[in-house]
Structure 1
Amino acid sequence: MNVDLFDFTLPPERIALRPAAPRDAARMLVVTPDGLADRTVADLPGQLRAGDLLVFNDTRVIPAQLEGMRGSARIGATLHKREGPRRWRAFVRNARRLRDGAAIDFGHDVTATAHDRAEDGSWALVFAGEEPVELLLERAGRMPLPPYIAGKRDTDARDAQDYQTMFAAEPGAVAAPTAALHFTPSLLAALESAGVEHATLTLHVGAGTFLPVKAEDTADHRMHAEWGRIDPATAARLNAVRARGGRVIAVGTTSLRLIESATDADGRIQPFEGDTSIFITPGYRFRGIDGLMTNFHLPRSTLFMLVSALMGLDRIQAAYAYAIEHGYRFYSYGDASLLLP
């Protein structure tokens, strides 16, 4: 499909630079075949049915943004995928100053050497020493806010909390599964009281989620792989919910993509551990999920293509136009949508 079909104009003032407080006070646009409804995230228990199950991503964002020096050259690096105990694939700013084996000093006694430049321009960074890389990043790294936020303000201490979900447990993501940022313990308790269950899986979100689609046709776009896991008990539980007539609602496109990667042709969700580079565009037949709660996405992005596949391109374009007109806040720290096809 032509990528221009997934374009729209977003006024810059619609980009949220801070999350709502409290988190579940964010607005939520409910989109169904019957139309649109304005709600808040706190209204979610009333929008679902007893027996439904929400699936959250329990990945934890690491401080994956690094600034360093190679000689007199300033080098910026954003880690996006672990390739080994001390080796991470990274997108590098000022990469023309690197060569294979070049050492980068990130300060705080943190150094790495660059190896194996890939076709997409990324480098493998191998960190020196014996300390776990996670500890090195705690010293030298900072939270990797999306460029549409980081370009407008500096990362600060608030982001260490704001850009982490209440489910964050498994370190490895370089971007938050942002739909889950809206959840609080009190909202989870209200959902449980309404008979709505929840489960978790793990998908370590990579920096590729922010990369623009540069191809003119979706068939020519290559997704970056991300590592995920659904354990056997969780897979069995999701299948049991659907078998008894409940709905599996993915919270976030990351949860949805992993479930769909793990679902076989008969609609059975299988245990999964490994990389996925699934790319969902209109025409895709969803097999493992029955709905999606997600934030509002960038124009021409793979995530906007995904929600268009779920709800239909015309319906999602109309929903986004409504959200823009009625003051919804967009992107990672913005408001939510509940998509029930």
Structure 2
Amino acid sequence: MEKHVDFKRHRRLRSSNAMRTMVRENHLRVEDFIYPMFVLEGKNTKNEVSSMPGVYQVSLDLVVEEVREMYDLGIKSIILFGVPNEKDEIGSGAFVETGIVQEATRLIKSEFHDLLIIADTCLCEYTSHGHCGVIHDHDVDNDASLKLLARTAVSQAQAGADIIAPSNMMDGFVIAIRQALDEAGFTNIPIMSYAVKYASAFYGPFRDAADSTPQFGDRKTYQMDPANRLEALREAESDVQEGADFLIVKPALSYLDIVRDVRNNYNLPVVAYNVSGEYAMVKAAAQNGWINERELVMEKLTSMKRAGADLIISYFAKDVAVWLKETN
């Protein structure tokens, strides 16, 4: 008599698409996505970023049209990056009333009242040297930079930004911005902190889009070492204590373990930034016919949700919105 061997029939729950959909643990929704936009000064300009097919720098006069396309797809959150005509040593274009992000915010808000505008709060796009703060003795002066970052956050809130997203990785940036916002009467404006931001090679295409490549050195004295995991929790802990309302992990795909660590340790919304290099690699492979772009994108974005992300900043947001509509 043959011995009966017991084993689990896991395939029962994979037998059809309807069955797989029923038991699916993680889902992508259009509401999960934040779309990054690059806004230029000037008129009638829409430049495709050479290293990011399908991503554009858009001039102020075209920004409402660009937002309408995204808005009609159901995406109701954007993060704005400015590309100014002029730069200086302290990045003053970041915090003046007529700054490119401030102007874009006012324009967009005049047309889309319920759209959430997240303002990237950094100086790198506005400094002549390309670093995220004030330079003293060939290094970024942390505390001097905080004052200018706080001014930038307040000016963005005054222009109508719904959320402030400081990406500069200066020590104390969250508390400096929180205090400045509160003192200016913006106690209800949340901070979406780039709490865990690594010094990553995945940012190259973004620097083409934002014209923010450092003119000397690198950002390794203020962005994190990719080899470090425990440091991420120290960084996140500081931002939580200082008053952050969201925690961003950047990049996402090579740092899903960090997304999970942050999710397990903090009860704030976790945001995964699906960065430019991750986007560019997929686009390049797709253009060469090496992958199924739609399936790969949906798989990798789902991995970010599975790792614990509540929200995803992604250049694929518009594509995903279309695909989700087709699926539904």
TM-score category of the 2 structures, normalised to the smaller one? under 0.3
Give the structure-2-normalised TM-score: 0.24
Query: Greater strand percent: which structure?
Result: 1
Query: Greater helix percent: which structure?
Result: 2
Larger RCO of the pair (alpha carbons < 8 Å, separation 6+): 1
Give the structure-1-normalised TM-score: 0.24
